[in-house]
Structure 1
Amino acid sequence: MENVVVLLGWKEGEGLDPKQMKAFLSTNVSPTNEKILSYYSKRWAVETYFRTAKVYLAMDRYQVRSTQAIERYLTLLMIVSVCCIYDSRGSLTDGLLHYRSLKKQCMIEYIYYLAQSGATLAQI
């Protein structure tokens, strides 16, 4: 490829172990090495958010066709994310796991109260 910058990074003192090395590729050759790494460090938070949204919020399995539907869906994902991050004081994954645990607990309580009131298994 022409006009590409490849930056290789590793922790100081660990030698050139390929398993510890990180590689960064940029097709924009004008910024300095430090600026390219700065862009990647900011982008990493975005990448991890979308990975978490795909794994835990089924973002990759939901299909919509219109721009408006996509915007609404992404807005809902962002609201859920903010609530989970706020509730867990900083971790989206911890917040999601907490809410899933609460959901299971509520479901068990609901089934318990129905059973206590004499509901049959078919009714539950």
Structure 2
Amino acid sequence: LKGLDDAVVLLAWKADQPMTSEHLHCVLSTDRDLSDEEILRYYAQRWSIECFFRQAKDQLKLDGYRVRGRRAVKRYWILVQLAYVYSMFESNSDFSDGLDLLRKRKGHSLVEFIYRAAKQNIPIDTVKKQLHVA
């Protein structure tokens, strides 16, 4: 690895699983003073944090959002965490399932809104304005 003079690379897998690429984890540590067990323990603790940031970027589409200033960053992460927890709470499951559920609900609400507007003979231009697509 370019720029690393000294590092530890561990290959880890669960004892009850075969050592194949789908079960194998490669862990890199630049702290040579840590034991293998300590490195793996830190990795296990950090993994949920890494998953949180990856999901926030990928599924909430927050990777392109830019904020400046301490207060703005703080508010931004509060909103990200709120969205994350709310998604899990609503589905009583994990974040991905919760986000899928909330997106389906939003879609259903939109269809129902358009259906009711059509039943009431509300002009399409009015509906577009209400949906902010005009």
1:59 and 2:62 correspond:
yes
Alignment length, in residue pairs? 123
Aligned to 2:31: 28
1:78 and 2:81 correspond:
yes
TM-score, structure 1 as length reference: 0.87
- 1:39 counterpart SS class: helix
Change (3 A) 1:18 1:87: closer
Structure 1 residue ranges (4+ consecutive) displaced by more than 2 angstroms after TM superposition: 9-15, 17-22
Could you list the runs of 5+ residues in structure 1 that have no partner in the other structure? Answer: none
State the one-letter code of the partner of 2:51.
T
Deviation sequence 1:60-98 (CA, Å, 0-9, x none):
121212221111011011011111112222301111111
Q: Which of residues 116, 121, 124 is equivalent to 2:124?
A: 121
- 2:10 counterpart SS class: strand
Q: Which of residues 40, 44, 56 is equivalent to 2:43?
A: 40
Aligned equivalents of 1:19 and 1:58: distance in 2? 27
Percent sequence identity over aligned pairs: 33
- 1:123 counterpart SS class: helix
Could you list the runs of 5+ residues in structure 2 that have no partner in the other structure? Answer: 128-134
C-alpha RMSD of the superposition: 1.9
| Structure with more relative contact order (C-alpha pairs < 8 Å, separation 6 or more) | 1
Change (3 A) 1:18 1:118: closer
TM-score, structure 2 as length reference: 0.81
Aligned equivalents of 1:115 and 1:10: distance in 2? 57
Q: How far did 1:11 drift?
A: 4.9
Aligned equivalents of 1:35 and 1:56: distance in 2? 31
